[in-house]
Structure 1
């Protein structure tokens, strides 16, 4: 049994990652893919007040657990679409380490800031300014297997672009390359 393939969507809050993931689940061929979202992991946490001094520690543990859940699902042979916000360097470093040996297609999900702010206001379920605070950080590493822009393309169009890229890379034997390039960069830091 081969380990599961991971399509890893990285973008700011409200960039359209979850919408793309839903579209991908409907069009990807082969065994069924699972959508494993960091928001889903956050939703499992008890709804009780966390002291501000403890919040960063709790969130870091949550993200680290999420990375390991992704690795575990893929190691068991499950194909995944994950969506995450790589807004802190340690998150990417941890993913590069924990997901080593797995095929991870890293997808940059972009969207213009003005559109992100509009979506955030319309959603009403995110703190105002969250996307703006992540905007300059999420794509700072600059290396992707494929990128899409939800400001100019629909979630379905982005999903079709991603599917086409993944199928082509797998068929050609090239596979995913971004995580390998980023790992090599990381060892030089």
Structure 2
């Protein structure tokens, strides 16, 4: 069985990852893509009040499960659009360990901090300042296959750019380069 392709969108909260993912599902016509979102996994968890320690442990388990779900879905041939916030180094390290690097197109989704803050206020469903907390962390690894800026391009334009780039993925991929840089072995 041929593993599925993974278009992995990484950016801060409110950067436009989910909007790009929806556009990609609409325009990708060389396969059947599914959208896996870290927000969807978060919403599956019980929403009762947790202590900070319980919350952190539950969040970590949820992220670890999310990463393994991506690997399992792609491993049986599903093409995926993933949107995630790699705001802690262990999240990237875990993804590098569990995902086949040759299957991942790693896309950095950028936007100015001013625009992110405006979007947070307009949405009203996000913790104020969340994007600012994540801003310097999410892209700190500094290596992507492709990058887009939703402050200067529409989600549709970004999706079209990604679609057009997909058949021309680089070798080695950003995930391969990052695995080598951080000396991370893949799971067997």
Q: Give the whole-Å Cα distance in 2 for the aligned partners of 1:56 and 1:47.
A: 13
Moved more, 143-152 or 50-59: 50-59
Which residue pairs with 1:177 in the alignment? 173
Give the total of aligned pairs: 184
How do 1:107-126 residues align onto structure 2 when only pairs under 5 Å count? Answer: 107-126=107-126
Pair 1:32 & 2:32 matched = yes
Which residue pairs with 2:162 in the alignment? 162
> Would you say the 8 A contact 1:4–1:75 is kept in 2?
yes
How do 1:141-152 residues align onto structure 2 when only pairs under 5 Å count? Answer: 141-152=141-152
> Would you say the 8 A contact 2:101–2:176 is kept in 1?
no
SS in 2 for 1:56: helix
SS in 1 for 2:138: coil
Structure 1: gaps spanning 5 or more residues:
none
Deviation at 1:102, TM superposition (A): 5.1
Q: Report the TM-score, using the length of structure 1 for normalisation.
A: 0.94
Which residue pairs with 2:82 in the alignment? 82
Structure 2: gaps spanning 5 or more residues:
none
Deviation at 1:52, TM superposition (A): 1.4
Deviation at 1:161, TM superposition (A): 0.5
Which residue pairs with 2:14 in the alignment? 14
Q: Report the TM-score, using the length of structure 2 for normalisation.
A: 0.95
> Would you say the 8 A contact 1:74–1:102 is kept in 2?
no
